[in-house]
Amino acid sequence: MKTPMAMSQVVEPKVKRRIFGSGRGSLFTPTDFADLGGRDAVDKALSRMAAQGVIRRLARGLYDYPEVHKVLGPLHPAPEAVARALAQRDAVRHQPAGAYAANLLGLSEQVPARIVFLTDGPARTVKLGPMVIVLRRTTPRNMATAGRLSGLLIQAFRYMGKAHIQPEHIRRLRKSLPEKERRALLRDLRYAPEWMRPLFRALAASER
């Protein structure tokens, strides 16, 4: 019977091949290799590869095969990629919120150092250099529109506040967002606060 160390040495080449096949910039968790061996063997293989500098440990149970800039060195992964990897691992959903949601929509040029995602999974914080990614557990209502344009708009508008959303913001969104996605906003009116509903209707209206 093989020892745990021997098992991890058998699993490691398979894990390495899959990581290299995914290419630079890929993120992964131990569950991505569940078909290659037991959890203990996979964990040991990943830990050994991280110690060797082959991959990078970003947080507990989260690794990446970083892109490397010839001047800057290893680059940090995109916040959305980190949140997506954790959500897939835990079989939960995530939704950009706050200043980050506004930035994604082009409503703010500010790129926050603290990036918040709402989730129906466990809360956690991941620090990537100067950037902090926060997964904040929230209500089922807030997650009802996760992954849709309506969810992103609700969180961005909530961050900006009613008094700070100008007609120019709506005009800009109407130009940048596909009409099909804008029309779909009407299906999610019930999830938006009352004061946002006229904004959703204005965005959903066809061009004249």
Condensed to tens digits (0 to 9), the pLDDT of residues 169-195 reads: 999 999 999 999 999 999 999 999 999
**Mean of the per-residue pLDDT values of the chain:** 92
Q: What is the pLDDT of residues 103-142, one digit of tens each?
A: 999 999 888 889 999 999 999 999 888 889 999 999 999 9
Q: What is the rounded CA–CA span in Å between residue 138 and residue 155?
A: 12
* % of the chain with per-residue pLDDT over 70: 95
Q: Note the pLDDT of residue 6.
A: 59
pLDDT band, residue 155 (cuts 50/70/90):
very high
C-beta separation of 97 from 153 below 8 A: no
Q: Note the pLDDT of residue 208.
A: 55
Q: What is the rounded CA–CA span in Å between residue 168 and residue 7?
A: 61
Q: How many CA atoms lie within 13 A of 169 on its CB side?
A: 19
Give 53 or 110, the one with higher predicted confidence.
Answer: 53
Q: Note the pLDDT of residue 129.
A: 81
Q: What is the pLDDT of residues 59-86, one digit of tens each?
A: 888 999 999 999 989 999 999 999 999 9
Q: What is the pLDDT of residues 2-35, one digit of tens each?
A: 565 556 678 999 999 999 999 999 999 999 999 9
Q: What is the mean pLDDT of residues 78-100?
A: 93
Q: What is the mean pLDDT of residues 41-70?
A: 93
Prediction pTM value: 0.84
Q: Note the pLDDT of residue 20.
A: 95
Q: Note the pLDDT of residue 5.
A: 58
Q: Among all chains, which residue has been given the structure tokens 């680059």? A: 75
Q: Note the pLDDT of residue 111.
A: 83
- Quote the strand ranges of 31-130, DSSP E: 56-59, 62-65, 68-69, 73-74, 94-96, 114-119, 124-128
86-88-89-93 Cα dihedral, nearest 10 degrees: 70
3-state secondary structure of 131: strand
Cβ partners under 8 Å of residue 145, min gap 6: 95, 151, 154, 188, 191
* % of the chain with per-residue pLDDT over 90: 81
Q: Note the pLDDT of residue 9.
A: 72
Q: Note the pLDDT of residue 7.
A: 60
Q: What is the rounded CA–CA span in Å between residue 151 and residue 191?
A: 9
CATH hierarchy code of domain 4-74 = 1.10.10.10
CATH 1.10.10.10 maps onto the chain at 4-74
Q: What is the rounded CA–CA span in Å between residue 190 and residue 195?
A: 12
